[in-house]
């Protein structure tokens, strides 16, 4: 294998990539807008969900229920009247609206089974799905503790103290930003190398290369280093300017160590892209194999 052939073929791949505007747009999108939107999107877990309470009972047990909702899962509950509940839900001001009926405490102490109405804004799907169970669990816990006249404190034989390193606030956006960069590296490495091989096959240039004084190994290595270099540079720019700069995510580890690991991953993923492009007969088939 001649190094000069590998370098010249790799430069040819870079020039072909520069003339493909769609792949250029895909690279920019995958390492900028895609990472930003995925990291700042609403999390799947409950986080600062807006809740309002209609307290028609004005009793000690209703006050206990009211004070049981607090950040970071819920915002501080807003006390509203009954005629405001539907209007606020329709306006999207509240995700949950809890209606405590009158004489709720009296019915509890009388042994009856009073009901509390919970209205949920189902348009906020992820928070509504998990939040309904949270609200039910909190209300049931406060009612049971009130009836039993004590707060249930679970004692365990061993107290496990958890200390989070690097992400003390457990901000999912910090984790999501790095995770999306890694996902973009994997996806683009496969797509770029596979698209380069399929493009040459569709244009008929792969047959020209095979009759030239270059070996198949040199052709594959040139695609690996050229496309891997593009992904490596794009991921570096994304980490520095998007993750650290725009999203304000502190990276406490070694950036050079991360890039060294990226190089090892790129060798595997670009090789996988060449393999999938060899099996696929066209770009649509390659896309289906990529999704699998």
What's the maximum distance between 2 C-alpha atoms anywhere in the chain? 94
pLDDT at 20: 87
pLDDT at 16: 87
What residues contact 270, with CB distance under 8 A and at least 6 apart?
A: 189, 190, 192, 193, 223, 224, 227, 228
The residue assigned the tokens 């060449």 is: 274
pLDDT at 153: 59
pLDDT at 57: 93
Q: Are 226 and 269 in contact (CB under 8 A)?
A: no
pLDDT at 147: 85
Residues 231-267 have pLDDT tens digits of 999 999 999 999 999 988 888 888 999 999 999 999 9
- Is 52 strand, coil or helix? strand
- Is 1 strand, coil or helix? coil
pLDDT at 62: 92
Beta strands in 94-227 (DSSP E): 96-100, 117-120
pLDDT at 201: 82
pLDDT at 146: 86
Which ranges of the chain have pLDDT less than 50?
none
Six token digits for residue 270: 């670009």
Backbone φ/ψ region at 248: left (φ over 0), alpha (ψ -120 to 50), beta: left
Every domain of the chain and the residues it spans: 3-40+168-291, 51-148
pLDDT at 129: 77
pLDDT at 44: 60
- What kind of fold does domain 51-148 have according to CATH? abc type-2 transporter like fold (3.40.1710)
pLDDT at 236: 95
Residues 67-100 have pLDDT tens digits of 999 887 889 999 999 899 989 999 989 999 999 9
Kindly list the strands in the beta sheet with 117-120, ordered across the sheet, starting from the edge strand earlier in the chain.
78-79, 51-55, 96-100, 117-120
């Amino acid at each position: 294998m001649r190094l000069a052939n590998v370098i010249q073929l790799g430069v040819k791949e870079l020039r072909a990539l520069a003339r493909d505007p769609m792949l250029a747009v895909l690279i920019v999108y995958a390492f900028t807008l895609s990472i930003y939107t995925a990291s700042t999107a609403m999390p799947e877990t409950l986080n600062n969900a807006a809740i309002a309470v209609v307290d028609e009972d004005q009793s000690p047990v209703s006050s206990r229920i009211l004070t049981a909702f607090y950040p970071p899962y819920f915002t501080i509950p807003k006390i509203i009247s009954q005629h405001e509940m539907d209007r606020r839900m329709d306006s999207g001001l509240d995700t949950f609206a809890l209606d405590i009926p009158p004489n709720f405490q009296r019915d509890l102490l009388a042994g009856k089974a009073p009901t509390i109405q919970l209205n949920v804004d189902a348009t906020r799907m992820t928070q509504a799905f998990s939040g309904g169970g949270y609200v039910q669990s909190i209300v049931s816990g406060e009612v049971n503790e009130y009836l039993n006249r004590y707060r249930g404190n679970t004692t365990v034989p061993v107290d496990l103290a958890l200390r989070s390193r690097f992400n003390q606030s457990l901000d999912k956006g910090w984790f999501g930003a790095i995770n999306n960069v890694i996902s973009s590296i994997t996806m683009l490495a496969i797509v770029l190398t596979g698209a380069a091989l399929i493009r040459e096959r569709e244009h008929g240039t792969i047959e020209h290369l095979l009759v030239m004084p270059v070996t198949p190994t040199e052709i594959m290595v040139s695609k690996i280093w050229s496309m891997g270099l593009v992904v490596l540079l794009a991921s570096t720019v994304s980490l520095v300017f998007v993750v650290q700069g725009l999203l304000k995510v502190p990276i406490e580890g070694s950036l050079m160590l991360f890039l060294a690991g990226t190089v090892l991953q790129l060798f595997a993923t670009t090789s996988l892209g060449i393999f999938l492009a060899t099996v696929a007969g066209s770009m649509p088939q390659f896309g289906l194999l990529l999704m699998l």
